[in-house]
Amino acid sequence: MILCVPTTTKDGPRAVVHEHFGSAPFFVVFDSGTKAWEVIENSNEHHAHGMCQPLALLAGRNIDVVVSGGMGARAVQKFNEAGIKVYRAVPGTVSDIARLFLEGVLEEITLVNSCAHHTCR
């Protein structure tokens, strides 16, 4: 299972989860099978509201799941159309989030409970 987590730093598994996907400075991609991780700098961090291009940044990495503190409906829809599920993160590190996801305790983000105008329902 390959997870992608938006983070505030590029500290890999020790990086702290960023509160919102599109404005995160970095993404940590973690393979739960091999325990390998990769840090991706978010070149689209400063974008107009609703103009995030999440799939372009993560193209070619075979991501199964994105775990984020929050995400807008358009981004959720784009991920879902690409076969990627999105889950809501809790405060912590990438290691914490990966463990909680694998334990099945994180809430899935859907179009109904996605963020709107930088607030989450």
User: Can you name the CATH fold of 2-120?
Assistant: Nucleotidyltransferase; domain 5 (3.30.420)
Q: How far apart are CA 109 and CA 88, in angstroms?
A: 6
Instruction: Give the mean pLDDT of 64-79.
Output: 88
Q: How far apart are CA 116 and CA 113, in angstroms?
A: 9
Structure tokens at 81: 């159309």
pLDDT digits (tens, 9 = 90+) for 25-35: 999 999 999 99
Q: What number of CA atoms fall less than 13 Å from residue 18's CA on the CB side? A: 22
Domain ranges, ordered by start, for the chain: 2-120
Residue 47: closest CA among 20, 29, 84? 20
**pTM exceeds 0.95:** no
Tokens 């973690």 -> residue: 30
